[in-house]
Amino acid sequence: MDYQNLLLEKENNVGIVTLNRPEKLNAISRELHQEMMQVCRELKDDDEIRVVIWTGAGRGFCSGVDLTASRDRPEVSGRQERLDEFGWVGRQAMMVSRELNKPTIAAVNGVAVGAGMSLALACDLRVGCENTRFKTVFIERSLSPDSGMSYFLPRIVGSSRAFDLVFTSRFVETEESYRIGLLDRVTTSDRLLEDAKALAAEIAFWPPVAMQMSKRVLQNSMESRLEEQLQYETHGIVFARRAPHDVEEAAASFRERRAPRFTGE
């Protein structure tokens, strides 16, 4: 599929999605949102792709929802109509985090603001550089957090820090971002994408079915009691063994003291 507002590259077993509206700091328009949803579906169905990287073109990761585009839309009335009007942007968080059932990495170049910050938080891992800056911004727009931020932020940084970042709407620079868990790894701006690719390649080496199930098990733990999670872990092990070649290869490579060759089968 041809995309107008994003770029999709496939290198070996890694998909690289670049939001491509640099003149708008990659602000999310409805058109970009639809393409993000579509690229998630494409990558989910591509068995060759094992890890997905999200990044932005130009000097920023994503500046949030394109408010200039929304001003051109007619006013809506009625509660359900307003829910539909403001709820669309949150659907990308569900696609990136849950429905795209492969490990995801955000290579956060520059600012990640509002829904752009939420997009980074929806990814499983975040790599940043000296230019990375996060900002919740919603309170400045007389809004409460949306696009998944109220779900991801307190789970990543804790409830008190989440209140701090939402209530103050301040920029969070690279050093603090790494310290409180918004970033998992920090590199330099000229190495950001290459280091994100290296991390993706490291993850893509492992058996893909087991990796996908590991993601599901970890996500499920956020909402489960211990007893439920133990049962889900057992379910995950059974599911992962649906790739018999990789299960046998893991055991054989251990016995033979060699590097495994996982195929996803």
Neighbours of 202 (CB within 10 A): 10
Q: Are residues 109 and 218 both part of a single domain?
A: no
Contact indicator for 69, 39 with CB cutoff of 8 Å: no
User: Using CA atoms, how far apart are residues 93 and 6, in angstroms rounded to an integer?
Assistant: 17
The DSSP secondary-structure symbol of 247 reads H
Of 204, 221, 244, which residue sits at a domain end? Answer: 204
Is 161 found in the same domain as 228? no
**Range of the structural domain that residue 107 is part of:** 6-204
Q: Do 87 and 36 share a structural domain?
A: yes
Domain check: are 61 and 156 in the same one? yes
Please check whether residues 61 and 150 belong to one and the same domain: yes
DSSP secondary structure, 162-217, as one string: HHHHHHH---B-HHHHHHHTS-SEE--TTTHHHHHHHHHHHHHTS-HHHHHHHHHH
96-136 pLDDT per residue, tens: 888 889 999 999 999 999 999 999 999 999 999 999 999 99
* Token pair for 109: 């170049």
Asked if 184 and 249 sit in the same domain, the reply is: no
110 and 131 share a domain?
Answer: yes
pTM of the model: 0.89
- C-alpha 207/C-alpha 201 separation (Å) is 12
* pLDDT tens per residue, range 37-54: 999 999 999 999 999 999
Same-domain pairing of 216 and 100 = no
